[in-house]
Amino acid sequence: MTATRDIPSGTAPAACRYKVPFVRPDLPAFDDVEPVFRRVFASGILTKGPELARLEAAARRLTGADDVVAVSSCTVGLALGLAALRHMQGDPSRREVILPSFTFLAGPGAVTWAGFEPVFVEVDAATWTISPADVAAAITPHTAAILACHTFGNPCDLAGLTRLAAEADVPLMVDAAHALGSLAGGRQVGGEGFAQVFSMSPTKLAVAGEGGLVATSSASFAALLRELREYGNDGAYGCTLPGLNGRLPELSAALGHASLERLPEACRRRQAAAEAYLDVLRGASGIGFQTIAPGGTTSWKDFSITIDPPLFGVDRDAIRRHLALRGIDSRAYYSPPCHRMAGFERYHLHGPTLPVTDSLSARSLSLPMGAHVTPDVARMVANEVLDTRR
């Protein structure tokens, strides 16, 4: 397949047939951002300037959230957001944050950085997002927050979780790292719940280099977050809650803004690639897919499948080896799941078994996705997955 031969990869063995990196950033054309970069250089304002304000305003319009605070990464947004929440609650007995174990370690990492304890619960076997029933069972008087996740771009059950959060009087936060381009009820997610935190790192649909966006319905939370990303400085060189340098530089904000403007294009491209993957893989015995929740639209931040070895004939890791030999990069995301990581397992010593999480962790496989994955590339990769059995 000549279309893929010229895709450079730093990791592909020299002699292999294809060179398909796992991801390639979906960037605007340089000519489109050059004038803005020149403007930033000419102004000499490299941080806390007009580009930051422009990005925050665009993200507010996109998400419909009351406010959006841009920060240096999604991880920093989650950590500072949870620290702000802890301060606002002011109740040391509320020390637990409920979240899925089948997620990226930045989630529980932020929970512990903010001084909370992670409480890991199960995900739904079909959607791979946090199960509201398991959240309900885990809520106690010690619960400070629910931290759901739009895993791989698939919107979590926002309606169910919002209801649950209201009934339990517990704020709903969402790790929305994968969710620029994810829709609920036809509109970009972000306005629901207490706060949702997006990532603009290079693997995402809109890229700032590094960057995060905290969308929130709470004005006091947004105000505190703006202090926390500024060391905790209250503006008069006083400090009630210590923070960090969590600022997003102007050049990143400018790139992020240009990238947000072409989000619909990135969504269309990933949708076309996902459809091509599905065309080839749907119907193959032993391959499963993430079910997109009714009323939801995934960003396809990742295209992930599950492998059932007895039915498919080989296991996930054999497929990964087969692809790697052909220069096709893949990921076994969330393997191990967070509750089995040395840094977090002590929080789960008395936790429930998480069979769906363990099973997804052992069987799921994420295939290349991003600016370089045209429908032709996706079909070729999918056929190589099927060829593993030969």
Contacts with ligand PLP, residue ranges (CB under 6 A): 73-75, 103-104, 106-107, 149, 175, 177-178, 199, 201, 203, 212
Cis bond leading into 336, ω under 30°?
A: yes
The residues near 330 (Cβ < 8 Å, ≥ 6 apart) are 22, 319, 320, 323, 324, 365, 366, 367, 368
Smallest distance, ligand PLP to C-beta of residue 306, A: 18
| Separation between Cα atoms, residue 97 and residue 307, nearest integer Å | 31
Cα angle value 226/228/230 (rounded, 5°): 75
The residue (of 18 and 22) whose beta carbon lies closer to ligand PLP is: 22
Q: Are strands 296-297 and 96-100 parallel, antiparallel or unpaired?
A: unpaired
Smallest distance, ligand PLP to C-beta of residue 228, A: 16
Smallest distance, ligand PLP to C-beta of residue 75, A: 3
Smallest distance, ligand PLP to C-beta of residue 172, A: 16
The residue (of 28 and 256) whose beta carbon lies closer to ligand PLP is: 256
The residue (of 70 and 222) whose beta carbon lies closer to ligand PLP is: 70
The residue (of 270 and 322) whose beta carbon lies closer to ligand PLP is: 270
Would you state the structure tokens that stand for residue 378, as one six-digit string?
A: 């996706």
Q: Among 351, 332, 364, 300, which residue's Cα sits nearest to residue 100?
A: 351
Residues comprising the chain, all counted: 390
| Separation between Cα atoms, residue 8 and residue 320, nearest integer Å | 19
The residues near 150 (Cβ < 8 Å, ≥ 6 apart) are 129, 156, 174, 175, 176, 177, 178, 179, 182, 189, 299
Smallest distance, ligand PLP to C-beta of residue 104, A: 4
The residue (of 228 and 280) whose beta carbon lies closer to ligand PLP is: 228
| Separation between Cα atoms, residue 348 and residue 96, nearest integer Å | 12
Tokens 């363990």 correspond to 358
The residue (of 121 and 177) whose beta carbon lies closer to ligand PLP is: 177
H helical segments located in the chain:
2-5, 30-43, 50-63, 74-89, 106-113, 132-138, 158-168, 219-228, 250-261, 263-281, 309-312, 316-325, 355-363, 375-387
Q: Are strands 212-216 and 287-289 parallel, antiparallel or unpaired?
A: unpaired
The residue (of 65 and 76) whose beta carbon lies closer to ligand PLP is: 76
The residue (of 69 and 287) whose beta carbon lies closer to ligand PLP is: 69
The residue (of 165 and 177) whose beta carbon lies closer to ligand PLP is: 177
The residue (of 163 and 340) whose beta carbon lies closer to ligand PLP is: 340
Would you state the structure tokens that stand for residue 307, as one six-digit string?
A: 């492998």
Q: Residue 249: beta bridge partners?
A: 47
CB atoms within 10 A of CB 127: 21
